[in-house]
Structure 1
Amino acid sequence: MVMTRFYFHIRHGDQVERDLEGIEFPSVQAAEQEALKAAREMVAELVMQGQRLQDKIFEIDDEDGNRVLAVPFLSTVIDWAVLSGTPLRGYLLPEPGSAILAC
């Protein structure tokens, strides 16, 4: 199985925390699942610390430096809220069945 190294950079507004090591995955989809899992864990910590989520994004590059995916941290909360029917104070949520854009 061919593995590709993906780099999970964290953008916060104009600042980027670069992932210099990366992680190998068999596909972009596997990297996306890991990004969602990691973002959910980080969101929980950020919420407990009272920090804002709006400007935090995983920017995922492949080993050639090509951007293959962007996962806003807030999308993990909105996806959960839409699926569970839980309203989020201060956010307009799409109607059930409509798409949520990741970027």
Structure 2
Amino acid sequence: MAAILDERSPSLSFQGSIGRRRERVRWNVLIELNGCPMPRYYFNIIAGDGIREDLEGTELPSLEDTRLEAIEDARTLMSDAILLGQDISSRRLEICDEGGDVLLTVLFKDAIKPVA
């Protein structure tokens, strides 16, 4: 069984959720205008044998938008960790639907491009 990661760890905090909230507000306005329900996705952080579950979720129009959001979140979390002298590039985000099924996995290390 996976351990629950400590929410107080700076490298695990969901700093990217601020950006997601802004996007959620924007998309919710579109929902209200179009009257179309959007799926809710959950961005769970996996680190070793621990998991930090996203209990709130985010409504996004497509799985591609969800993938782009996950990449942005991974970059934000890695940036915060680097400023604290930590390397969290071995972590990953699992994007789940409302039923808990994993739809997509984004590796933190894949969210950045190596440069020479």
Range class of TM-score, shorter chain: 0.7 to 0.9
Provide the C-alpha distance between the structure 2 equivalents of 1:2 and 1:30, rounded to a whole number of angstroms.
Answer: 15
TM-fit CA distance, 1:9: 0.4
Cα deviations across residues 6-38 of structure 1 (Å, max 9, x unaligned)?
A: 000001100000011100011111111111111
Aligned length: 81
Q: Which residue identity is paired with 1:68?
A: L
Aligned position for 1:27:
62
Tell me if structure 2 keeps the 8 A contact 1:11–1:55: no
1:12 is the counterpart of 2:47:
yes
**Structure 2 unaligned spans of 5+:** 1-35
Provide the C-alpha distance between the structure 1 equivalents of 2:76 and 2:90, rounded to a whole number of angstroms.
Answer: 16
Specify which structure has the higher proportion of strand.
Answer: 1
Cα deviations across residues 35-92 of structure 1 (Å, max 9, x unaligned)?
A: 1111111111111111122431111101121101111111112xx22xxxx13xxxxx
Specify which structure has the higher proportion of helix.
Answer: 2
Q: Detail structure 1 runs of 4+ shifted over 3 Å in the superposition.
A: none
Provide the C-alpha distance between the structure 2 equivalents of 1:2 and 1:56, rounded to a whole number of angstroms.
Answer: 31
Provide the C-alpha distance between the structure 2 equivalents of 1:29 and 1:12, rounded to a whole number of angstroms.
Answer: 23
1:63 is the counterpart of 2:98:
yes
Out of 38-47 and 50-59, give the one that drifted further: 50-59
Provide the C-alpha distance between the structure 1 equivalents of 2:90 and 2:48, rounded to a whole number of angstroms.
Answer: 5
CA distance change for structure 1 residues 42 and 54 in 2, over 3 Å: closer, same or farther?
Answer: closer
Q: Which residue identity is paired with 2:59?
A: E
Provide the C-alpha distance between the structure 1 equivalents of 2:70 and 2:84, rounded to a whole number of angstroms.
Answer: 21
Q: Over aligned residue pairs, what C-alpha RMSD do you find?
A: 1.2
**Structure 1 unaligned spans of 5+:** 88-103
